[in-house]
Structure 1
Amino acid sequence: MSNAASTRADHEIIINAVPQGARVLDVGCGDGVLLKRLKQERNAIVRGMELSQAGVNACVAKGLSVVQGDADLDLALYPDDSFDIVVLSRTIQATRKPEMVLKQMHRIGAKAVVSLPNFGFWQVRLSLLLNGRMPVTQGLPDSWHETENLHLCTLLDFDDLAKQSGFDLESVTRIAAGKASAPSRATSNVLNWLSEEAVFVLKRAWMPTR
């Protein structure tokens, strides 16, 4: 395992959420580190979508099947039920239309695994309260004018959006200071307060109107 991979606590949780041999689409797959591990450790049938050409090139160099695409536009090209699991790691907040992205994930996969930074984390709230400026933390490392994040939210906000998009919550796992806690079956105010980031495992509950 590379040092880069070992620093991603969300990757460990995502890998554990994927059954052996599952068909997986990783949306916003970056340089393919997670995809490669899913292929090696879970024997998954993996596909990726990545916006940047540099990321696509890195994935191809690893022997991975990845296409260049925009989650906001190109998920619509996949047929219904193309995958068992659709993964979105640290990407949902950078999309232009998060609800539409979730609904497309819901359509093409029976389950979704989503990791995201939490704007409801206590250090973020305290920094904003005391300094009166957009916070910079380990989970949100970029200044407001340099970040790729378009739609920051709290865990409670995301939980609501996932339900509106047709998902039930299977589990949510808190991450703080790079360490994961035991998974929970519900998103609570306490979890929202203590999570620097989190990983949601979602399962299809009903088909929303599109």
Structure 2
Amino acid sequence: MNREGYLKVIDNLTPRADFRVIARWVEPGSSVIDLGCGDGSLLALLAEELDVTGYGIEINDAGVLEAARKGVNVIQQNLEDGLRLFEDQSFDLAILSQTLQTIHQTAAILRETVRVAREAIVSFPNFGYWAHRVSVLGGRMPVSKSLPFQWHNTPNVRVLTIRDFEALAPETGIEILDRAVLHNGASIAWGQNWRGSLAVYRVTRAR
């Protein structure tokens, strides 16, 4: 099957819009580290359809067990402790799929992603989405498809917008190579910081 065929299969297999974007930026046969891999669904999918190899990093016990059940090489580790296990440029690609907003040491982990891998893909819910703004103006923290938790039980410790990320990137030595902004799986071409609920970036270490 050619690359286009693989991507069509992935589109049909996953409901996660950011997974579909990520798959388009992954080269077949590449080495990947998935940081905050959850239950290993993304890495298992990429291994099956694009023949990637690599590791998942996850702290949650249930996630580690489920990832292992899927055949993913998973290491149980807190990302806040860094990625000292891995040497520079150990992987072709590092993935932070809706993980960045759950980390306290945001700048540090961004630097680590482009240290251990040639490129990185980062996705996160956009707090600047218009419905989130309206909710805050109404005096309540937003709850939406991209931010599905209540303020008192959310795993998110940071909230950020598209503009926030793009301001932080150069401060952390990161160059943005590509960007996709989505809402309900559809690509947003204009007014992205207020019309898009999910952002996905392809980045590398700044030269």
| TM-score with structure 1 setting the length | 0.89
Unaligned runs of at least 5 residues, structure 2: 1-8
Q: Classify the secondary structure of the residue corresponding to 2:165.
A: helix
* Structure 2 equivalent of residue 77 of structure 1: 85
State whether structure 2 residue 207 is matched by structure 1 residue 201. no
Percent identical residues? 37
Q: Classify the secondary structure of the residue corresponding to 1:161.
A: helix
Quick check: 1:48–1:67 contact (8 Å CA) kept in 2? yes
Match runs of 1:4-83 below 5 Å: 6-83=14-91
Unaligned runs of at least 5 residues, structure 1: none
| TM-score with structure 2 setting the length | 0.90
* Structure 1 equivalent of residue 111 of structure 2: 103
2:163 to 152, 156, 165: 156
* Structure 1 equivalent of residue 173 of structure 2: 166
2:173 aligned partner, one-letter code = G
Quick check: 1:5–1:11 contact (8 Å CA) kept in 2? no
Aligned-pair Cα RMSD in Å: 2.0
* Structure 1 equivalent of residue 149 of structure 2: 142
Q: Which runs of 4+ in 1 moved over 4 A?
A: 1-5
In the aligned structure 1, how far is the partner of 2:70 from the partner of 2:152?
Answer: 33
* Matched pairs, number: 199
State whether structure 2 residue 181 is matched by structure 1 residue 180. no
After TM superposition, give the deviation of residue 110 of structure 1 in Å: 1.3
In the aligned structure 2, how far is the partner of 1:77 from the partner of 1:161?
Answer: 25
After TM superposition, give the deviation of residue 21 of structure 1 in Å: 1.0
In the aligned structure 2, how far is the partner of 1:86 from the partner of 1:2?
Answer: 19
Task: Using the TM superposition, name which of 158-167 and 142-151 deviates more.
Answer: 158-167
Deviation readout 1:148-175 (Å, 9 max, x if unpaired) = 1111100110112222221211111111
Q: Classify the secondary structure of the residue corresponding to 1:15.
A: helix
1:117 aligned partner, one-letter code = P
After TM superposition, give the deviation of residue 2 of structure 1 in Å: 9.7
